[in-house]
Chain A
Amino acid sequence: MLSALLFAAALAPAHADEASAEACLKTKIWEGYNQGWAVRTATNATLAQGEHRIYLVTLYAGTEYKIMVCGDDGIVNADIVLYDSLGNEVMKDTAQDREPVVSYKAGSTDTYYVAVHATKLKEAGGKAGLATAVTYK
């Protein structure tokens, strides 16, 4: 009986739904088009609590950037931290939600690092799907 339960648990899918995160992000991207935003890149990741994904980005001086994340319903709090090319924190999202946004206008053209954190999940041992977009105008 116990072995059957463990086997079933092992087969249970991780609580991650990249598709729903992606659908949420796509809606935001298309809404953004109406306000003059365009998309450079949209991508997905599946993360456990405490994990993060780092994206290298080139930002043009004078261009406004908005970095958006949508988490699936398995995540309570996702965060974005923007670092400059030397690793200094430039900007951080502080909202306690699963759809963080960071806006930034670079003073000079350079490379930056965007860290997307799965800060708090609903279930220990679970995983969450997070979709990230770099948009500009």
Chain B
Amino acid sequence: MRRFLAIGYWLLAVSLSALAQSNVNYSVRVGETKENTVLAEFPESYEGKKVNIRIQTVALTEDRAQTDSLDFVFADEEIEALGTWGEQVFAYTDEGETEWTVWRSKKEPKNRNQAVKVKNGRDSFEQYLQETLGTRANRGWIWWIFAGVIGIGVLIKSILTIRKRRAEKLLSSVEQETLHRMRMGNRRHYISQAYLWILLLVLYAPIALIVIYSFTDSKILGNWTGFSLELYANLFTGHADAGLNSAILNTVIIALIAAVSSTILGTLAAIGIYNMRARHRKAISFLNSVPMINPDIITGISLFLLFVALGVSQGLATVCIAHVVFCTPYVVLSVLPRLSRMNPNTYEAALDLGATPFQALRKVMLPELWPGMLSGFILALTLSVDDFGVTFFTKGSGGLETLSTFIYSDARKGGLTPELRPLFTIILLVMLTALIVINVRSNKKAKKEQKQ
């Protein structure tokens, strides 16, 4: 029975991969360069007769926001030229020039030659694709490898099981019965473990994709051009996109400013709140929880409107203030538990013995509070680095970009700056190491406590 199951698995994997291979579409987004930003996509196979070019435009009128999309059938009809510029989309057909303006567009093409030109149907279009993108290798082998790995695993497993079963036939029937019962118990365990691992596999598939393609120098994700560490080199030698470099720098600056100020503000606030009367404490705790409950977009928009109403020009300062707004509550919450654990009289004792409040804070309270402050600080740092929504609304139009907003505008333009892949891999590794260290340490602690 098991043997059949294993063979079935193997067949399933192989046929699935074959199916996947036959379904490979030439779906690309044209124009990876920043200048020729394109919203066009090619959903149909271009080896076939029909190629649909889809141009998506967004238009916002006074009372409705709408998304239009246009399909061009490309094999028979001739399209003179198709081009996009900035966030503006132009398409020229036989019927004459049609133009859609994308909302929020600022630039117009300087001349039409700068726009992507597609003439006389398929041949030149293919040429264009090859020139800009390079021929995209058939990705079928990826699926074969995938199937192969699964298949070999299943094969080994089933061979082992068969050998085990053969050995078991020598046992007495009672022993076989017990073994069977044990296995039924184990099966539940295996199924639940398999569920977790499959879930993890799906969760990590996109992440793995980026990590794998960080080791090739292809401009487009999904196009393997051989192993290379060039992207890593670019990232560290500053040869990456200038926008990316400044985005990384901005992210670090903002995160540090926000984390330091929210740690100071939050620690003082926590000490104050802890010593307040219950009624006041409740009110302020509620206020403190508001930025945590509010989704990014509400925090961002409300601050944006505040700055607009006050006439403040938005930039680095406003982003920092906004980050302090959503970071500080977490600092307060991580310092408060430390306060309730410490002896409340030591501070007063220090004052009685002649210390100034500042000295008492530094010499008596800080040594007790710093673990909470540290975890608050780290939390604030990660929250700030991770934030997109609030930054997006408060960064103003001065061209300030953080990593998040850079990725967003990059992705909207239809491509991902290649150097983001190694950056992402490094961040992932750092996070993984940090989590493992924390985990190992807390495990050790738990063991110690158990012994005691």
A and B from one complex: no
